[in-house]
Chains A and B, each alone.
Chain A
Amino acid sequence: MNKVTKTLRVNGEDHEVFFAPHKTLLEVLREDMDLTGTKHGCELGECGTCTVLMDGEPVLSCLVLGLESDGVEITTVEGLADENGPHPLQHQFAELGAAQCGYCTPGFLLTAKSLLDREPAPDRQRIRKELAGNLCRCTGYHQIYQAVEQAAEELRHG
C-alpha cells in the first residue's frame, strides 16, 4: 500500500505528513507525528479516550481516516496550552485531582474545551451529558466535573 502525503493542520501548524492511507487519524498523530498525548483505549469508538477536536468539535480520532483529516483545524492535547501556560482546564484538572492515572484526561480535556467554547457556564447536568462519551475508570467523574466548573469560572472571569 503506497503511502500518501497530506498537509494536516494540527495545533495551529501545518505539517506535511507521509502515511499509509488506511491509517486513522489516531495512528497518524501517534505514529507519524509523534503526538502521543492522544491515547487509545479500544480503537472502536467505544471509550472516548482518543478524542481530538476537528474545527472545534470533539471527534474520535480512531474512527477518522488520516486521509480525511486535511482541510480542518485539528487540536490535540498538546495544542491546548499556549505561551501563557496551560489552558485553565488543564490547570484545574491538575489542581483538583481530575487526572488520576491521566490516561483518559486528554480526551476529557478536549471534549470539555469544546463544551466551554460553546457554553461558557454549563451546569452540572449539562457537563454530565456532554462528557457522556468519555469513560474514566479512576475518578468516579466528580473531580472532573469540579475541574470543568472551575475552569469555566476562570475563563469567564479571567
Chain B
Amino acid sequence: MMRLPPFTYTAPATPEEVVHVLKEEGPGASIVAGGTDLYPNMKRRQVEPKTLVSLRRVQGLKGIQKDSDGNVRIGPGATLRDLERNSEFAATLPALWTAVESISTPLLRNMGTIGGNLCLDTRCFYVNQNYEWRRAINHCLKCSGDTCWTAPGSSICWAVNSSDCVPVMMALDARYRLLGPDGVREVSAAEMYDVTDGREWLRRKPGELMTDILIPNQGNARSVYLKLRRRGTFDFPVLGVAARIEEDGGVISKANLILNAVGPAPIRCKEAEAALVGQKLSDETIAAAVAVAPKGAKPLDNTDYMPSWRKKMVSVYTRRALESLRA
C-alpha cells in the first residue's frame, strides 16, 4: 500500500490563524484543502511537508456569491462538486463550469476544491512517480535532481501546468485575493501564473492563503473551454483552450485566448488575440488567429500523447473553440 510519510497536523479555525501557523512553521508547512493533489505527491515522496495545515475547519472559505453588479466571488474551499451542482453558476459562467465538470472524476470532485485546482502543482511523467522509480533516473530538476529529463540540458523544469480552471480564470480576467503575513493583496490570474519554470508554478508568496476568487461580471461576453485528453474522465488535460470574446456591433472588441497544459505555465496567445480584435468572427478571422495561436505552445514528451500531435491539436482545438463562440 502506498502510504503517507509522517507529519504534524494542525487545523486552524480562521484564515488569520492559518497564515500565522504558516509563518511559524516556515517552508516545511503545507496547506491542504481537498488533499487530492498533495496526498498522492506525498505518498510518492515528491514532497514531505513536516506540517500539514488543514483548511478543514476554516469558516468562510466556501460558497459562491454574486453581488449586485453581477461580479462573482467563489470561495476557494468550495468543492468542485459544489460548483458543478450549482445551476446558477453553470448558467453564469458556463466555460468555468465546463472546466470544473471535466476535472478528474466525480469522486475526486467531491473532495477537491477549486482553490486546489487553481494551485495544482505542475505535473510531469518524470516526477509523478514513486520514490523508487525516481531513483532509477537519479531524480530530476523538480525533485532533488539536477537534470530535467523532459529536456536534458534545459536549465528550467518543464513540468506542465495541468489545471483545467487556470486558463479559464485567465480568460475571464479573474482575480485572486490572498491573505499573507503582510495583509491582504489582490492579484490577477494572469499575474499569478506569470512564471516560466515548472518548479515555481504560482506567484503565491510563502505563507499566503487564497481567500477569494473574484470574477468580474461577464456582461455579454461569450467564453468556452475545450479540453483534450485520452478519456472522458480521470485524465488531466494534455491541452486546454480557454477563449472569451466581447463583441460590439458584431465586431470583436476584446479577445482572450489562453492555452494550458502545453508548458510549465498557461500561455496567453497575444498575437492571436490581436488578430481577433477589430474583426468579425469569420472563418478568415479565425484562420488568422489559429495560424499564430500555437506559437507559444511547447508540448514535450512528459504527458500523455505524442508532443508533435499535441502541437497539431493546438490549431484544431483553437479553431473549434473560436468557432463555438459564434453567436
Residues of A within 8 A of B (CB): 1, 20-24, 26-27, 40, 42-46, 48, 51, 57-60, 62-65, 67-68, 111, 129-130, 132-134
CB neighbours (8 Å) of B108 from chain A are 45, 60, 133
Instruction: State whether A68 touches B111 (Cβ < 8 A).
Output: no
The answer to whether A22 and B234 have CB atoms under 8 Å apart is: no
Q: Closest CB of chain A to B40's CB: distance in Å? A: 4
Given contacts A57-B81, A63-B35, A63-B39, contact A46 B234 (CB under 8 A): yes
Closest to A58 in B: B107
- A1, A57, A132: the one contacting B110 at CB < 8 Å is A57
A115 to chain B, nearest CB (A): 9
> Which of A42, A46, A48, A68 interacts with B54 by CB under 8 Å?
A68
- Identify B106's interface contact among A1, A43, A44, A111, CB under 8 A: A111
**Which residue from chain A places its CB closest to the CB of B11 in the assembled complex?**
A68
Contact partner of B36 (CB less than 8 A), chosen from A21, A63, A111, A130, is A63
Q: Which residues of A contact B39 (CB under 8 A)?
A: 24, 45, 62-63
CB distance from B129 to the nearest CB of A (A): 11
- Contacting A at CB under 8 A, from B109-130, are 110-111
B153 within 8 A of A: no
Question: Out of A44, A65, A111, which one reaches B43, CB within 8 Å?
Answer: A44
Taking A43-B2, A63-B36, A63-B40 as known contacts, 19 extra A-B pairs with beta carbons closer than 8 A to each other, sorted by chain A number, are A24-B4, A26-B1, A27-B1, A42-B2, A43-B3, A45-B104, A46-B234, A48-B105, A60-B36, A60-B111, A62-B2, A62-B39, A63-B35, A63-B111, A64-B35, A65-B35, A68-B56, A111-B106, A133-B104
- A-B CB contact pairs (8 Å), 30 listed: A1-B6, A21-B6, A21-B9, A22-B4, A24-B39, A26-B1, A40-B1, A42-B2, A43-B1, A44-B2, A45-B36, A45-B39, A45-B104, A45-B107, A46-B40, A48-B105, A58-B106, A59-B107, A62-B2, A62-B39, A63-B36, A64-B35, A65-B54, A67-B9, A111-B107, A130-B106, A132-B105, A132-B234, A133-B105, A134-B107
Residue of B nearest to A43 (CB): B2
Q: Which 4 A-B pairs have the closest CB atoms?
A: A133-B105, A132-B233, A133-B107, A43-B2
A63 surroundings in chain B (CB, below 8 A) = 34-36, 39-40, 111
Q: Mark B282-322, 1 if CB is under 8 A from A, else 0.
A: 00000000000000000000000000000000000000000
| Cross-chain contact A60 with B9 (CB below 8 angstroms) | no
**Smallest beta-carbon distance B56→chain A, Å:** 6
